[in-house]
Amino acid sequence: MHTSSVFKQRYLLSLSFTEQYEVVGSSDPVFAVAGEDVILPCSVKPNISVVDMRVEWFRLDLKDSVVHVYEDHVDKNTDQSQSYRGRTKLNHQELQRGDASLKLASVQFSDEGRYKCFIQSKSWFDDATVDVKVEAVVGHPPVITVDGFGHSGGLHLQCQSEGWYPEPDLEWLNSEGVSLSSETTETHRNADRFSVKHTVTIHHSDKIHCRVKLRHHMLEALIITTSNMFHSWRTSVILISVSVVLSVIAAILIAVFTRKNRAHDRLEKEKRGLQQAHDRLEKEKRGLQQALTHLRTHSVNVILDADTAHPHLIVSDDGKQVRCENTQMNRVNGGKDRFNDYLGVLGKEGFSSGCFYFEVQVNGQTKWDLGVTRESVNRKGWISLSPENGYWIVGRRDGLYRAHDSSASFFSLSVNPQRVSVFVDYKKGLIFFNDVESSSHIYSYTNQSFNEKLYPFVCLGYESNENPTPLIICDDYY
């Protein structure tokens, strides 16, 4: 028998206790995004007050392991690990309801690991383990540009990538996979995101890779340097060296004229390429518009169910709009479970077969999630809005967009959607999200398995939203 189990039995036999409880954490890993805040769930069952108990959070995989300590009605963090100073918080009001979840601010990669939530009363103690996984914010794919020639005839290449957190690593590789030394490096931080820029000089034709890496994420760009590029430099040197000889002035003028013609031909070729790309995009857009017209044949009349709304939300009388007031509204419960942390609300009608479609106007709102949920979904506390927990959503946070599939993934869009459509094929396990106005695809969940009713779901973030702009269920299809 494990030593801690023997100790616990002896400890319990030596006490005449009057209360027993179970400490519950999370059976699934808690996914956090680097730089953002995360809630580590921990509570007791039954929901008795833990105000008079000792609550201790610590790491199982670190030597200096104290994360947060609460005892005698106050936080006691004198022995707290230095890396957690000023970043942890318990909600003392929630302790009265048996909730000892820990808020961890400004998540770092070093925060990834196994956490123990230990709760001890005068006559009982128990603990639970929470496994935390930290995800990076993936930036834009790198872009390689040619930045002229050096005095030795080398070709200057510049690679730049933006929108990462934390700072990524950038490296140059040749066709053999050998790392090339960067000659200049620049790193900038703007709005909690990093951009990196490195330059390298190439002296012969090759396939050159620019690779940006952050943990297990990697984006790469490729440029093929040809002999023609270096031939252009050699020709320039020869022309400059003989320019002092009057007898070759005519030859120089002819070379300049030829180069202009080549430049003109190259510009015309690039123009034709851009026109072809534009025509291709227009064709794809028309195809998406036709597909959107077809999807709208499955439109349903979504009415928001105010009885499921978070107390800070105001649902319009017709059930078509919802906004955040940030002051609790007094309503009749209606016998249904409300969301109490996420600012969410469900549609009144669920669907368990066929296809259904609806559109939501998000214009002006900077913090939102929308999609569908299972009928039996958990609406209490903090959970990951993922398919594993019965949520199929896309959302927006801090200018980036996110979706949950196997893990939380953030991505950027070239145009911020004003109206988002949701299409569900229940039998095929498909959920599509599209930008209605730009007729562009946002995200898809495929090969899903549904075994109960699905309800439309909209959300204005977690706990608070200062933006008064409502989310609107649209009926004016055009």
CATH number at 30 reads 2.60.40.10
Q: What is the pLDDT, as a whole number, of residue 63?
A: 83
Give the number of residues written for the chain: 478
**Edge-to-edge strands, sheet with 391-397:** 342-346, 454-462, 368-374, 391-397, 400-404, 408-411
Query: Nearest to residue 25, comparing CAs of 57, 50, 2, 49?
Result: 57
Boundary of a domain, candidates 194, 216, 238: 238
Is the domain of 427 the same as that of 374? yes
Distance CA 78, CA 366 (A): 39
Q: What is the percentage of the chain residues whose pLDDT exceeds 90?
A: 56
Same domain, 395 and 459: yes
Per-residue pLDDT tens over the stretch 205-238: 889 999 999 877 888 999 988 766 655 545 544 4
Q: Distance of CA 377 to CAs 323, 359, 429, Å?
A: 22, 22, 18
- Predicted confidence at residue 247, as pLDDT, reads 46
Residues 286 and 321 in one domain: no
For residue range 368-421, list pLDDT tens digits in order: 999 999 999 999 988 889 999 999 999 998 888 988 775 667 788 889 999 999
Cis peptide preceding 166, ω within 30 of 0 = yes
Range of the domain at 254: 243-292
Same domain, 288 and 313: no
For residues 249 and 397, state if they share a domain: no
Are residues 439 and 324 located together in one domain of the fold?
yes
Residue 32 has pLDDT above 60, yes or no: yes
- For 327-380, the pLDDT digits (tens) are 766 554 544 689 999 999 999 999 999 999 999 999 999 999 999 999 999 999
Domain identity same for 344 and 468: yes
122 and 199 housed in the same domain: no
3-state secondary structure of 401: strand
- CA dist., res. 135 & res. 215, Å (int): 9
pLDDT tens digits along 252-273: 565 656 676 676 777 778 777 7
Question: Cα–Cα distance between 230 and 203 in angstroms, integer?
Answer: 8
CA distance 184 to 177: 20
Residue-level pLDDT at 369:
95
pLDDT tens digit string along 420-469?
999 999 999 999 999 999 888 999 999 999 999 999 999 999 989 999 99
Task: Confirm if 157 and 54 have CB atoms less than 8 A apart.
Answer: no
Q: Which of 238, 256, 280 is the last residue of a domain?
A: 238
The mean pLDDT of 94-101, rounded to a whole number, is 96
Three-class secondary structure assignment of 161-200: EEEEECCCEEEEECCCCCEECCCEEEEEEECCEEEEEEEE
Residues 303 and 430 in one domain: yes
pTM of the entire structure? 0.44
Q: Say if residue 142 is in the same domain as residue 131.
A: no
**What is the count of structural domains for the chain?**
4
Question: What confidence tier does 182 reach under pLDDT thresholds 50, 70, 90?
Answer: confident
Structure token digits, residue 275: 């026109």
163-172 tens-digit pLDDT: 888 889 999 9
Question: 275 with 344, same domain?
Answer: no
Regarding whether 126 and 36 lie in a shared domain, the answer is: yes
* Domain CATH code at residue 320: 2.60.120.920
The residues, any chain, with a CB within 8 Å of residue 471's CB and separated by 6 or more, are 321, 322, 323, 360, 361, 362, 365, 368, 370, 458, 460
Measure the CA–CA gap between 411 and 247, rounded to whole angstroms: 61
Q: In this predicted model, what pLDDT tens digit does every residue of 82-93 receive, in sequence order?
A: 999 999 999 999
Q: Which of 260, 292, 324 is the last residue of a domain?
A: 292
